[in-house]
Structure 1
Amino acid sequence: MSNTNWSRRSFIQQGAILGAGLGMLPLISWKAPGSGDFVEFISPIDGDMLHVRDGKQLKNGVGVKVKIKPVAPGKINLTINNIQAKEESGNYTADIILKGFENKISVCDTLTGRKSTITVFYLSKLNNQYRLSVDDAIWFLKDIHINAAVYTSVFDNPFMGLLRSLHEAYGTKVHINLFYETDGFNLSQMTDKFKKEWARNADWIRLSVHAKAEFPDDPYIHAGYGEMYRDCHAIRTQIQRFAGKEVMDNTTTLHWGQVPVEVCRALRDEGYKIQVCDFNVDNDLPPCSYYLDVPHRRHINKRFIWRDNKEKIIFVKSSIIIDTVKLQHIKGFLDSYGENNIIPPYVDLLVHEQYFYPDYKNYQKDYREKLTAAIEWAQMHNYTPGFLSECVI
Structure 2
Amino acid sequence: MTLKTISATDKPFTSAIGLQPIWSTQNTQGQIPTRGLGAENIVNENFSILEQVKADKGGSTKSLQQVEDLANLAIDNTRQIAIDGTINILFTRIGYMLNSAGQPTVSGWYAITEPIKVNKGTSIYYSGQNGASGNALVGYSDINLNNPVILLGSSGNYNNTNVITPNEVNYIIAGGLRPEFVPTPTPISLRIDSGLSGLKESTKLLTNRSQTPFVYLNYINASGVVTSSTDWTRTYFIDINAFMNAYVWGHSSVSNLAYYTDRDLSTNITASNMVLGAGWHFIDRSTMTIPANAKYVIISTSKNLSYFPNTYITLNTIAQMQSDISINTSDISTIKQSMSAINSTSKFMHMSFDDTINVFADLTAKASTYTSIFDNPFFKAIKGIHDRHGMVFSFYCWLESPTGFILSNTTTKFANEFKANSNWMKFGFHSRNTSTSYGNSITPETAKADYDSFITSIVAITGGIQSIDRAVRLHNFTGVLASMKAMRDTNIGIIGLLTADDSRDSYFLSVADYTYINAHDRIIDTVNHMRFFKSEKRLENAANISTYLSDFLTPSFANMSNDLVLFTHEQQIYPTVSGVVTTAMVDKIEACASWAYNNGYRFDYPMNVVLR
When normalised by structure 2's length, the TM-score is 0.41
Is 1:143 matched up with 2:362? Answer: yes
Q: How far apart, CA to CA, are the structure 2 residues paired with 1:308 and 1:163?
A: 33
Is 1:372 matched up with 2:594? Answer: no
Q: Please report how far the alpha carbon of residue 258 of structure 1 lies from its aligned counterpart in structure 2 after TM superposition.
A: 2.2
Q: 1:387 aligns with which of 599, 605, 612?
A: 605
Is 1:176 matched up with 2:395? Answer: yes
| Larger relative contact order (CA 8 Å, sep ≥ 6) | 1
Describe the superposition over 1:105-133 as per-residue Cα deviations: whole angstroms up to 9, x where unpaired: xxxxxxxxxxxxxxxxxxx9770111211
The residue aligned with 1:18 is none
Is 1:227 matched up with 2:410? Answer: no
8 A contact 2:345–2:601 mirrored in 1: no
**SS in structure 2 of the partner of residue 323 of structure 1:** helix
Describe the superposition over 1:202-223 as per-residue Cα deviations: whole angstroms up to 9, x where unpaired: 111111101011x226464632
- Summarize the alignment of residues 26-175 of structure 1 with structure 2, pairs less than 5 Å apart: 127-175=346-394
Aligned length: 261
Describe the superposition over 1:285-336 as per-residue Cα deviations: whole angstroms up to 9, x where unpaired: xx2511112211121122211111111111111123111222x2x2322333
Letter in 1 for 2:376: N
Runs of 4+ in 1 over 6 A off after TM superposition: none
The residue aligned with 2:405 is 185
Letter in 1 for 2:594: E
Is 1:353 matched up with 2:570? Answer: yes
Letter in 1 for 2:547: G
Q: How far apart, CA to CA, are the structure 1 residues paired with 2:459 and 2:505?
A: 28
Q: How far apart, CA to CA, are the structure 2 residues paired with 1:288 and 1:144?
A: 36
The residue aligned with 2:469 is 249
Q: How far apart, CA to CA, are the structure 1 residues paired with 2:422 and 2:523?
A: 27
Distance 1:228 1:218, change over 3 A: closer
The residue aligned with 1:267 is 487
Q: How far apart, CA to CA, are the structure 1 residues paired with 2:594 and 2:349?
A: 11
8 A contact 2:431–2:437 mirrored in 1: no
**SS in structure 1 of the partner of residue 531 of structure 2:** strand
8 A contact 2:505–2:514 mirrored in 1: no
8 A contact 1:133–1:349 mirrored in 2: yes
Letter in 1 for 2:584: D
8 A contact 1:220–1:228 mirrored in 2: no
**SS in structure 2 of the partner of residue 140 of structure 1:** helix
Distance 1:195 1:217, change over 3 A: closer
8 A contact 2:395–2:428 mirrored in 1: yes
**SS in structure 1 of the partner of residue 388 of structure 2:** helix
Q: Percent identity?
A: 24
Q: How far apart, CA to CA, are the structure 2 residues paired with 1:168 and 1:279?
A: 28
Distance 1:390 1:143, change over 3 A: same
8 A contact 1:251–1:388 mirrored in 2: yes
Is 1:318 matched up with 2:538? Answer: no
The residue aligned with 1:36 is none
Letter in 1 for 2:518: N
The residue aligned with 1:278 is 500
Letter in 1 for 2:371: T
Q: 1:303 aligns with which of 513, 520, 538?
A: 520
Distance 1:391 1:298, change over 3 A: same
8 A contact 2:501–2:538 mirrored in 1: no
Q: 1:203 aligns with which of 423, 431, 449?
A: 423
The residue aligned with 2:30 is none
Q: How far apart, CA to CA, are the structure 2 residues paired with 1:266 and 1:136?
A: 22
Q: Please report how far the alpha carbon of residue 187 of structure 1 lies from its aligned counterpart in structure 2 after TM superposition.
A: 1.4
8 A contact 2:501–2:537 mirrored in 1: no
Q: Please report how far the alpha carbon of residue 262 of structure 1 lies from its aligned counterpart in structure 2 after TM superposition.
A: 1.5
Q: How far apart, CA to CA, are the structure 1 residues paired with 2:528 and 2:388?
A: 39
Describe the superposition over 1:343-373 as per-residue Cα deviations: whole angstroms up to 9, x where unpaired: 422211111100124659xx95511111112
Distance 1:325 1:140, change over 3 A: same
The residue aligned with 1:336 is 551
The residue aligned with 2:506 is 289
Describe the superposition over 1:118-165 as per-residue Cα deviations: whole angstroms up to 9, x where unpaired: xxxxxx977011121111100000000000111001111110111111
Describe the superposition over 1:215-249 as per-residue Cα deviations: whole angstroms up to 9, x where unpaired: 22646463221121011000011001111211013
Distance 1:261 1:368, change over 3 A: same
Distance 1:367 1:314, change over 3 A: same
Distance 1:199 1:365, change over 3 A: closer
**SS in structure 2 of the partner of residue 223 of structure 1:** coil
Distance 1:252 1:131, change over 3 A: same
Q: How far apart, CA to CA, are the structure 1 residues paired with 2:551 and 2:570?
A: 25
8 A contact 2:419–2:467 mirrored in 1: yes
Q: How far apart, CA to CA, are the structure 1 residues paired with 2:475 and 2:345?
A: 26
8 A contact 2:502–2:537 mirrored in 1: no
Letter in 1 for 2:506: S
Is 1:258 matched up with 2:478? Answer: yes
Please give the root-mean-square deviation of Cα atoms over the aligned residues, in Å: 2.3
8 A contact 2:481–2:507 mirrored in 1: yes
**SS in structure 2 of the partner of residue 245 of structure 1:** coil
8 A contact 2:399–2:454 mirrored in 1: yes
Letter in 2 for 1:333: Y
8 A contact 2:524–2:532 mirrored in 1: yes
Q: How far apart, CA to CA, are the structure 2 residues paired with 1:146 and 1:371?
A: 27
8 A contact 1:223–1:259 mirrored in 2: no
Q: Which runs of 5+ in 1 are unaligned?
A: 1-123, 282-286
8 A contact 2:438–2:483 mirrored in 1: no
Q: How far apart, CA to CA, are the structure 1 residues paired with 2:592 and 2:604?
A: 15
8 A contact 1:320–1:334 mirrored in 2: no
8 A contact 2:447–2:486 mirrored in 1: yes
Q: How far apart, CA to CA, are the structure 1 residues paired with 2:575 and 2:409?
A: 25
When normalised by structure 1's length, the TM-score is 0.62
**SS in structure 1 of the partner of residue 446 of structure 2:** helix
